[in-house]
Structure 1
Amino acid sequence: MRTPLPSVPSAEDVYLAEHRRRVVRETVAALPGRCPQLIAALAEDPPPTYRELSERLGVPRGSIGPTRSRCLACLRLLLHAERYP
């Protein structure tokens, strides 16, 4: 049994994927307050612990979760507005 060859993305697929990444990066950068730093940190591999985030951002550990939720909600709204102006 032969192993199938990996598919090569089309130029259009590559362009669209890069466009999506750029839009997300720009939208994250436009978020208010500490949201850009928080979202960027959460995208790290592996993501930092809430304790590490608390120290890095200078906020109480207990506020990381609620802040994360608000930042992601704001990001969703902005991305939706970008897609459907």
Structure 2
Amino acid sequence: MGKFLLAALAIVLVIYAFFDAAATPRSQVRVLPKPAWLVIIVLVPVVGALAWIGFGTKRLRPGPGRPARPPRGPDDDPDYLRGI
């Protein structure tokens, strides 16, 4: 059961990394070109997927003028509530 779970997690990780790399705009890809990342993720599955997640993409981080989490609805948006 443990080996099955580990194998399933590895497969899910590789699938997630592949589709994340494929959907990421070229402007947010770091270190290598996007096609190279896709090949690495397929040829070196777990290591390539972890490398993509760690080094391959620019993750948006909270900073000045960028909230930690964008508002989900109008009632969560302070600018909207001020205008009411």
Per the shorter chain, which TM-score range?
A: 0.3 to 0.5
TM-score under structure 1 normalisation?
A: 0.34
TM-score under structure 2 normalisation?
A: 0.35
